[in-house]
Amino acid sequence: MASSSALLLLPLFLSFLSTLSASSSESDLLLTFKSSIDDPTSALSNWSPNSTTHCDWTGITCSNATSLVTSVDLHNLNLSGDISPSICRLPHLSHLNLANNFFNQLIPLQLSQCTALVTLNLSNNLLWGTLPDQIVLLSDLTALDLSRNRIAGQIPLSLGSLASLQVLNLGSNLFSGFLHPPLFRNLTQLVLLDLSQNPSLASELPQEIGSLSKLRSLLLQRSGLYGPIPRSFLGLRELKVLDLSQNNLSGKIPLGFGLASLKLATLDLSQNMLSGSFPTDVCYGKSLIELSLHDNSFTGPIPNIIEKCSRLERFQVQDNSFAGALPSGLWSLPGLKLFRAENNQFSGELPDLVGVSSRLEQVQIDNNSFTGRIPRGLGLVHTMYRFSASLNGFSGNLPENIFDSPVLSIINLSHNSLTGSIPEFSTCRKLVSLSLADNSFTGNIPPSLGHLPVLTYIDISDNSLSGKIPSELQNLKLALFNVSFNQLSGSVPPPLVSGLPASFLQGNPGLCGPGLPNPCNVPPGKRRSNTNRLIWALIVMSIAVGFMVLTAGLYVVYRLSRNKSNPCTWKSVFFYPLRITEEELLMALVEKNAIGEGAFGKVHVVQLPGGEFVAVKRLLNSSNLSFRKVKSEIKILAKARHRNLTKLLGFCYSKGTILLIFEYLRKGSLGDALRRPGFSFEWSLRLKLAIGSAQGLLYLHKDYVSQILHRNMKSNNILIGDDFEPKISDFGFDRVIGETSYKSSVASELGSYCYMPPEYGCSSKKPTEEMDVYSFGVVLLELITGRPAEQPEARETLDVVKLVRRKVNMTNGAPQILDPKISGTAQRDMLEVLELALRCTAILPEKRPSIIEVVRSLQSLEPIIYPPMCSGELLPSGQQ
């Protein structure tokens, strides 16, 4: 009896044993998996042999019945190291999520042994290499997410046999080549297909995709597609989101597409080469929320049927050749927030918008042929943030309430035919930018403008405004104030003239004030101040010699020098009111004012009559570039305005020499600081200098419209401003003096070659952004090591990049490089910057990070967020 019942129990007992051993070995497997992982935040600290059951460990889920691991979810834990295949020995593992970590390796081939997997998520790591064919072994997969890695090569055809896939996301990788049609034939269960942001793909849109009838999201933006949109897309009846933007698609939208895709909420076909007319049936399903057709070649009118799109929130048709009047019902769609139709040939009048309940936030209709009045009800739309209607034929008065929206930030009505006076401003406390230039406004500048706290940009030039410039405007922190070509008169509030980067007052003969042709309260020929006397002396002199004094702009003075011993002709252009003549300036360029000598010549500090100092740099114009050419290039440099760039205030030109006048920063340069014995800036300060200079460089490379390459980035050209805000100087000098002179000047400077990338020597190489990034990397090394890179006395051992690399390669050499004067707590950050600096100074230019990446990496180490500056950057750049 007893033995038989024992026998009966045996299988049970055995299965219990096997569960026991399975679970103990499951925890071993997990520990093996953990052992190859770097876990900087100790997120896996409870994965430990002595803790009771591994089913309670972070990220582990076991099945209730068998206590076997079914899911390992370790997303977002900052893990790195190796993904060990040991995890595939967990027989029931069906979900593996390692997304949002830092795994930097090939896609582990062995993961194909995890044959029970149903979902695999490796999104947002640093995986590289190709997608292995072995992926087909995971035949039960319903979701595969490899997005946001650096996986390259063809998308393997074998992927096409994972017939259970519902989600396939390969977006934001480096896949290349053609999309083979058979790939999609068996993927009939797909609900989401995302191949977006793989710009190296080069393919037509396979018509097979149109047969994936369960698709709800199809995201193929910026993935190298060309050719037509296949008619088979009419089969995508479940589609809610279709994004084909930023490709090279051409032809027309297939007829009937809107009728077929009744559930479509987002249709983005922008930035292609599509043509034809507006898809009339796109609103048929009434589900459309976002419609983007911008940057294509569409023609014809927008049909009235658009009024049926009752849920439409975002309507973007800008940069096409649409024409005709806009359906007036479009304006009163209840949910519409974004309305962009600029750069088309639309005409007709806008509805009055009185009595409509509108949620419009942003309207941009610039550069069309609209006529009639500005809508009377515009100010009643209290959500309006931007209204921009420049370059049209609008006429009549502005409605009194136009500025009433409490969130109004940007208004641009320039280049129209508007008349009457500018209404007062009362409720729009958020106004940043006001452009009313080139209209026929009359009356005074409303003093209430001066009470708008964040107003930064005022352009009311080219109107018929009269009266005084209200003294209230002194309160504003303006980046631009253009009132040129009006009939303003009276004295200009002094802070408006002196504190402004680009104050344009020209074309108002009645204005007077210091620095202006008319001094106030002083009848010509009587009492004169020093500066005035000089200006008058000049004029009298010139007339006496018989030359016209041309004042093309207020601060532009063309003049012949009277210096007989130096028959050189000097011409000057000042971008700021410097109130100094070039003669006085030239006289001040004497030895006692010299503060240094750079590659291009001496640098002097000159005190202006007003007491301020400027730095004057002398460049040899050995290529004898013409004044006109030099002026247009320098203007480009002067217009580059950013808080991390030194301001170029003006220049003087003669045949052989160009004098550049810069703001003077008395703290000197980072190079000066580094060379001072006992240089001991704390780490946060060094980081601030690094971030600021990188931002300056970013602005030059990416944000400024005619890109400027710095070409001479080094610590000597990073000046230290107030509050240790760095300002880059000496950028783009090649433009001013021409390539040949530039190269020979740079070559003459010993020591600075340590900032030059290895490819610099190759004469065929055009200057590139990557070269600037290299030089910046050297500056980072200087900040990390606390030592200047330029050490002319020790030319042999100079190459700081090689030196650092050699030390880093020695085992554990990295910490030895760090400036010992900085306390240990900053070491981790310093090592990160070291790594960044090494990437910046990679031998191969294409291995260097972009300046955007450099700024981001540095900012991620920043301990505090600095408040945004009040400058041109404040202008929101619109919807992307």
Ligand X SMILES: *[C@@H]1O[C@H](CO)[C@@H](O)[C@H](O)[C@H]1NC(C)=O
**Residue placing its CB nearer to ligand X in the complex, 759 or 862:** 862
Report helix, strand and coil shares of the chain as percent, to nearest 5: 30, 20, 50
- Residue 533's Cβ-count burial label (10 Å; 0-12, 13-18, 19+) is exposed
Q: Which of residues 3-42 bind ligand X (CB under 6 A)?
A: 41
Task: Compute the C-alpha angle 414/420/426, nearest 5°.
Answer: 80
Alpha-carbon span 858 to 674, nearest angstrom: 20
For 346, 471, 527, the CA distances from 490, given in Å and listed in that order, are: 42, 11, 19
Write phi, then psi, for 80 (nearest 5 degrees).
-145, -165
**Residue placing its CB nearer to ligand X in the complex, 764 or 860:** 860
Q: Which of 173, 196, 272, 390 binds ligand X (CB under 6 A)?
A: 390
Write phi, then psi, for 553 (nearest 5 degrees).
-130, 170
> What is the separation, in whole angstroms, between the first and last Cα of the chain?
82
Side chain identity at residue 467, one-letter code: G
Alpha-carbon span 254 to 234, nearest angstrom: 8
Q: Which of 218, 378, 391, 737 binds ligand X (CB under 6 A)?
A: 391
Piece of 85-93, 479-487, 732-740, 815-823 that binds ligand X (CB under 6 A): 479-487
Q: Which of 67, 80, 86, 100 binds ligand X (CB under 6 A)?
A: 100
Q: Which of 433, 572, 621, 752 binds ligand X (CB under 6 A)?
A: 433
Alpha-carbon span 571 to 560, nearest angstrom: 7
Q: Which of 54, 294, 337, 415 binds ligand X (CB under 6 A)?
A: 415
CB 857 within 8 A of CB 838: no
Alpha-carbon span 606 to 650, nearest angstrom: 13
Nearest distance from C-beta of residue 14 to ligand X, angstroms? 25
Q: Which of 194, 243, 366, 772 binds ligand X (CB under 6 A)?
A: 366
Count Cβ atoms below 10 Å from residue 812 Cβ, excluding itself: 8
Q: Which of 5, 42, 50, 764 binds ligand X (CB under 6 A)?
A: 50
Nearest distance from C-beta of residue 454 to ligand X, angstroms? 14
Piece of 423-431, 477-485, 583-591, 625-633 that binds ligand X (CB under 6 A): 477-485
Sign of the Cα pseudo-torsion (463, 466, 469, 470, in order): negative
Piece of 95-103, 237-245, 554-562, 861-869 that binds ligand X (CB under 6 A): 95-103
Residue with tokens 């950028």: 731
Piece of 5-13, 73-81, 612-620, 832-840 that binds ligand X (CB under 6 A): 73-81
What six digits make up the tokens of 356?
Answer: 């409509």
**Residue placing its CB nearer to ligand X in the complex, 46 or 816:** 46
- Answer yes or no whether residue 64 interacts with ligand X by CB under 6 A: yes
Could you list the beta-strand ranges (E) of 514-593.
556-558, 571-574
CB 356 within 8 A of CB 380: no
Nearest distance from C-beta of residue 333 to ligand X, angstroms? 25
**Residue placing its CB nearer to ligand X in the complex, 415 or 571:** 415
Nearest distance from C-beta of residue 808 to ligand X, angstroms? 21
- Answer yes or no whether residue 51 interacts with ligand X by CB under 6 A: yes
- Answer yes or no whether residue 457 interacts with ligand X by CB under 6 A: yes
Piece of 74-82, 207-215, 672-680, 736-744 that binds ligand X (CB under 6 A): 74-82
Nearest distance from C-beta of residue 857 to ligand X, angstroms? 10
Alpha-carbon span 46 to 56, nearest angstrom: 9
**Residue placing its CB nearer to ligand X in the complex, 482 or 716:** 482
What six digits make up the tokens of 20?
Answer: 């026991």
Alpha-carbon span 152 to 18, nearest angstrom: 43
Residue with tokens 């953990």: 34
What six digits make up the tokens of 117?
Answer: 């997997």
Q: Which of residues 504-533 bind ligand X (CB under 6 A)?
A: 504
Of 259, 257, 326, nearest in space to 286 by CA: 259
What is the contact mask toward ligand X in residues 486 to 505, using x (rule: CB under 6 A)? Answer: ----------------x-x-
Nearest distance from C-beta of residue 162 to ligand X, angstroms? 8
Piece of 93-101, 613-621, 697-705, 850-858 that binds ligand X (CB under 6 A): 93-101
Q: Which of 103, 284, 339, 485 binds ligand X (CB under 6 A)?
A: 485
Residues binding ligand X: number (CB under 6 A): 47
- Answer yes or no whether residue 412 interacts with ligand X by CB under 6 A: yes
CB 710 within 8 A of CB 732: yes
What is the contact mask toward ligand X in residues 105 to 144, using x (rule: CB under 6 A)? Answer: ----------------x-x-------------------x-
CB 855 within 8 A of CB 339: no
Piece of 332-340, 431-439, 470-478, 743-751 that binds ligand X (CB under 6 A): 431-439
Does 34 count as an annotated binding residue?
no
**Residue placing its CB nearer to ligand X in the complex, 123 or 841:** 123
**Residue placing its CB nearer to ligand X in the complex, 462 or 770:** 462
Give the three-state DSSP class for 385: coil
Task: Compute the C-alpha angle 510/516/517, nearest 5°.
Answer: 75
What six digits make up the tokens of 219?
Answer: 């995201």
Nearest distance from C-beta of residue 271 to ligand X, angstroms? 10
With residue 260 as reference, give the H or E element that holds it. helix 257-260
Q: Which of 71, 83, 145, 405 binds ligand X (CB under 6 A)?
A: 145
- Answer yes or no whether residue 440 interacts with ligand X by CB under 6 A: no
Q: Which of residues 153-212 bind ligand X (CB under 6 A)?
A: 157, 160-161, 167, 169, 182, 185-186
- Answer yes or no whether residue 362 interacts with ligand X by CB under 6 A: no
Piece of 29-37, 104-112, 376-384, 410-418 that binds ligand X (CB under 6 A): 410-418
- Answer yes or no whether residue 313 interacts with ligand X by CB under 6 A: no
Q: Which of 190, 437, 637, 784 binds ligand X (CB under 6 A)?
A: 437
- Answer yes or no whether residue 364 interacts with ligand X by CB under 6 A: no
**Residue placing its CB nearer to ligand X in the complex, 389 or 754:** 389
Count Cβ atoms below 10 Å from residue 696 Cβ, excluding itself: 26
Q: Which of 28, 31, 59, 75 binds ligand X (CB under 6 A)?
A: 75
CB 381 within 8 A of CB 374: no
- Residue 740's Cβ-count burial label (10 Å; 0-12, 13-18, 19+) is exposed
Q: Which of 25, 115, 248, 706 binds ligand X (CB under 6 A)?
A: 248
Task: Compute the C-alpha angle 349/353/355, nearest 5°.
Answer: 150
**Residue placing its CB nearer to ligand X in the complex, 341 or 625:** 341
Piece of 70-78, 532-540, 671-679, 729-737 that binds ligand X (CB under 6 A): 70-78
Locate all alpha helices (DSSP H) within 393-515, ordered by sequence: 494-498
Residue with tokens 């999309």: 179
Piece of 15-23, 234-242, 351-359, 480-488 that binds ligand X (CB under 6 A): 480-488
**Residue placing its CB nearer to ligand X in the complex, 200 or 626:** 200
CB 242 within 8 A of CB 265: no
Nearest distance from C-beta of residue 268 to ligand X, angstroms? 16
What six digits make up the tokens of 171?
Answer: 């977006």
* Sheet strands side by side (includes 571-574): 556-558, 571-574, 648-653, 657-663, 613-620, 601-607, 594-598
- Residue 847's Cβ-count burial label (10 Å; 0-12, 13-18, 19+) is exposed
HSE (side-chain half, CA atoms, 13 Å) at 504:
19
Residue with tokens 């202008």: 875
- Annotated binding-site residues for ATP read 617
| Annotated binding residues | 617
Site residues, ligand X (CB under 6 A): 41, 48, 50-51, 64, 75, 77-78, 97, 99-100, 121, 123, 143, 145, 157, 160-161, 167, 169, 182, 185-186, 224, 226, 248, 343, 345, 366-367, 390-391, 412, 414-415, 433, 435, 437-438, 457, 461-462, 482, 484-485, 502, 504
